Amino acid sequence: MVETLKIKVNQQGLHLITNQVEQLVREENVRSGLCTLFIRHTSASLLIQENADPSARRDLEAWLNRLVPEQDALYTHTMEGPDDMPAHIKCALTATSLSIPIVDSRLALGVWQGIYLWEHRHASAMRELVVHITN
């Protein structure tokens, strides 16, 4: 099964999408298999990370923003705004696809793990995520 999830994000940062992906796995009724996620963008990425304490997300976002600042004088790709080139760099440093085993009809995520869409631009956007579930 291949499905495209359209996810609206309103701001830069980590957006929890675990529930949307789990719903697709439940609908597919696969007992044992693999769920592969791929984001069709060059300024957003995917991440599996801590889903219990919001301070972990804030710290990750702050760290990446310090690592890849906006307004760097070395950027030449600036026509789409000051957050565009940093978004491409952040995407290059993170992941555009994830593979998660399905065990007993559930994603085999750890207790504190969640799936996140990591939006690297400031503006609101509609992001497309291809979900491929195999058994």
Mean residue pLDDT of the chain comes to 97
pLDDT of residue 90: 98
With pLDDT > 90 as the criterion, what percentage of the chain qualifies? Answer: 99
The pLDDT tens digits for 9-56 are: 999 999 999 999 999 999 999 999 999 999 999 999 999 999 999 999
pLDDT of residue 100: 98
Handedness of CA 49, 50, 54, 57 (dihedral sign): negative
pLDDT of residue 50: 96
Confidence of residue 2 (pLDDT cuts 50, 70, 90): very high
pLDDT of residue 109: 98
Which amino acid is residue 113, in one-letter code? Q
pLDDT of residue 33: 98
Please state, in angstroms and rounded to a whole number, the distance separating the CA atoms of residues 91 and 62: 15
**Domain spans, the chain:** 2-71+79-134
Q: Which two tokens stand for residue 15?
A: 């957006």
Mean pLDDT of 84-110: 98
Mean pLDDT of 109-132: 97
Mean pLDDT of 101-109: 97
DSSP-derived letter for residue 135 is -
DSSP string covering 36-76, please? EEEE--SSEEEEEEE-S-HHHHHHHHHHHHHHS-SS-TT--
CATH 2.60.120.460 fits 2-71+79-134, yes or no: yes
With pLDDT > 70 as the criterion, what percentage of the chain qualifies? Answer: 100
